Amino acid sequence: MPGEITPQLRETIENTLRFLAVDAVNAANSGHPGAPMGLAAAAFELFDNHLRFDPSDPDWPLRDRFVLSGGHASMLLYGMLHLYGYSLSLDEIRAFRQWGALTPGHPEYGLTPGVETTTGPLGQGFAHAVGMALAARMTLSRFGGPANPEHASPGEHFVYGMMGDGDMMEGITSEAASLAGHLGLGNLIFIYDDNQITIDGGTEISFGEDIPGRFSAQGWHVQGAIDGQAVPELAEALVAARGESDRPSLIVLRTVIGRGSPGVAGKNKAHGSPLGAEEAARTKQALGWPEEPTFRVPDEVRAYFDGRIGAKKAARAATEARHQGWREANPECAEGWDSARDRKLPANLAERLVEGLAGVDDATRKHSAAVLARLHEVVPYMVGGSADLAGSAAPPIIKEHGIVGPGAGAGADPFAGRNIHFGVREHAMGAVTNGIALDGTFVPYCGTFLIFSDYMRPSIRLAALMKLRSLFVFTHDSFYVGEDGPTHQPIEQLDSLRVVPGLTLFRPADGVETAMAYAWALQHADGPVLFALTRQGLKGLTRPADFELEDVWKGAYRVREPERSADVVLVASGSEVSLACEAAAVLAVQGVEARIVSMPCLELFNAQPEADQLALVPDDGTPVVAIEAGRGESYRGLVGRRGLVIGMSGFGESAPAGRLAEEFGFTPNGVATRVAEYLTGL
């Protein structure tokens, strides 16, 4: 129910938002006041009369989502959250951008109540919102049951957002908008803050696209331009957007950055710098606002929001009553949705995934495909796909479970399937996957060749920062890509990804390790998991009799232990484990005994007690050699400063994989020779 409000009170509320931003940025001497000043009217209208939420329960599953893609305008969001009674006090507003505050420079998911996703890198918020909207549509199709206007089904909510010119310029936005339009995400509504200003000056210096034309061509419903202060027109546009069920909506809003400031309104100075005490005083005078106290929230504003908070909670209660009707009418759907939200798993998941894979020779990408197929049978809330590489098992199409989007076929529900064709959109794919994870119903995965993880680094990093349960499935993990040459052969990628805080990287050596890596990701991960898989076939490992499946979850374990004390310890992951075993056989003929340690996950190994680590990889003078068909510098801490890492120093070459192995020394004899020479030189 729309809030009853006089024009004077509305203006006071808008100015409250503006000056909370001005005062906070001035106090921090850092931040971006301009966008909050220009968007105050639009944000208030959106939150007050259109968004469904309960500030006492920020994680209420049936809420609408709001994404501030231009995260530099964070004080706009913090001001709204404070006024609507989220657990964000005025003291937190005063502490904007300070150590330990709930009001960091850019919104952070998991830190500030009411923040739906971490934003800051421009375009990422928008692309994450596309994933949220897709997850909602899939939830409604999977669990909603027969349509009934008297029921509140999961997935019926909308995803709203605000974005600016900076978001529009980033390539990820174009990719994500293209996918959203192609999929027909009618539950996605974005307001484009067209203030025509960038940090360096007016947008004419670098940006002259026809944005309405661009989005129309990508299948969006476009409205505007609407004046940023024309609240009735914006309200009508939002209503029309919600009525457009088959197309995402863009509302072009023409605002004035730094609105109300005599000195900086409409200028790039309003973008990324505090107004300063003098200009803040002039702005308050111009808008009839007291200069003191700072961080002022008038009593009439508090009173209004007290009433609106009550109304939002009452609306939530009414929605919950309708939701209970849905539960009673659709018990199987309700049970399935609850199981997905609660992440219920079979008690014997690991054993079911590993069954029949011991000793099987194959590429780990194919083992991964087989494991994913099994997962879809026992974990029905898994969804995902690849960047147009399903034929390369990165990851594959699970044929039994349908396609998402127009590929579902004529007459089919386009959101009932589990397989997502992301297209050649690696940038957007990672962010959309994160958005699906943020929704909270599905466990999403996505994949491509490992070399193209470079395109996805911002999304991978944000997944780690937010501790999302996103799964990144990368294949073609080394120079064994072969004929495609150095442009497609990942050399430095494994090292660069292993240093991302909070990202767990598995590089399995065979089917058993692959299955156990997926089981760990489903059962134990509290953040994103990355799988680096081979293109080429590998031998199934022969393991000692005392091997247990959970040894894989320790990050490393013995594959070969000599009868007498080891002369050298060979550490490897992925395709190099079987190579190390073959090299050890060559060394044994020469009288050199080697322990072989498979290290599928360096992060999990480093998390083990030091005594357990040293029992596998000693620090007692026994030489340690690491082998990796990439740079391999991740293992430098294990082998020591003067230790040997058999890795790559260049970018690779174009040739068949076998020839490359010979040329680069990654043959049993080549590795044995390097190890023997190293031992001789000690």
Distances in whole angstroms, Cα of residue 362 to Cα of each of 317, 559, 580, 628: 55, 18, 17, 19
Strand boundaries in 15-158, DSSP class E: 65-68
CA distance 673 to 581: 14
Distances in whole angstroms, Cα of residue 648 to Cα of each of 530, 575, 642: 22, 14, 17
Structure token digits, residue 82: 């404070």
Q: Give the CA dihedral 655, 661, 662, 667, nearest 10 degrees.
A: -160
CA distance 548 to 538: 21
CB 414 within 8 A of CB 404: yes
**Annotated catalytic residue: which of 279, 426, 576, 628?**
426
For residue 58, with 0-12 CB atoms within 10 Å meaning exposed, 13-18 middle and 19 or more buried, which class applies?
Answer: middle
CB 197 within 8 A of CB 102: no
Residue 425, φ and ψ in degrees, nearest 5: -140, 60
CB 504 within 8 A of CB 528: yes
- 3-class SS of residue 638: helix
Residue 673, φ and ψ in degrees, nearest 5: -65, -45
Distance of CA 143 to the CA centre of its chain: 24
Structure token digits, residue 270: 């309003």
Give the contacts of 399 (CB within 8 A, at least 6 positions apart).
Answer: none
Amino acid at 118: T
Residue 68, φ and ψ in degrees, nearest 5: -95, 95
In degrees, rounded to 5, the angle at the alpha carbon of residue 636 between the alpha carbons of residues 602 and 484 is 75
**Parallel, antiparallel, or unpaired for β 403-404 and 443-449?**
unpaired
Residue 437, φ and ψ in degrees, nearest 5: -65, -40
Q: What is the CA radius of gyration of the chain?
A: 28
Active site residue 426: yes
Give the contacts of 344 (CB within 8 A, at least 6 positions apart).
Answer: none
Note the helical H segments in 227-298.
231-243, 269-272, 276-286
CA distance 262 to 283: 6
CA distance 599 to 557: 7
Distances in whole angstroms, Cα of residue 480 to Cα of each of 394, 451, 635, 645, 664: 16, 12, 20, 18, 11
CA distance 472 to 103: 30
CA distance 376 to 381: 8
CA distance 519 to 216: 43
Eight-class DSSP state of 492: S
Nearest CA to 457 out of 39, 193, 124, 175 is that of 124
Buried b (16+ CB within 10 A) or exposed e, 662-673: eebebbbebbbb
Amino acid at 435: G
Amino acid at 500: V
CA distance 156 to 187: 8
Give the contacts of 643 (CB within 8 A, at least 6 positions apart).
Answer: 623, 624, 625, 626, 636
Residues with a known catalytic role = 426
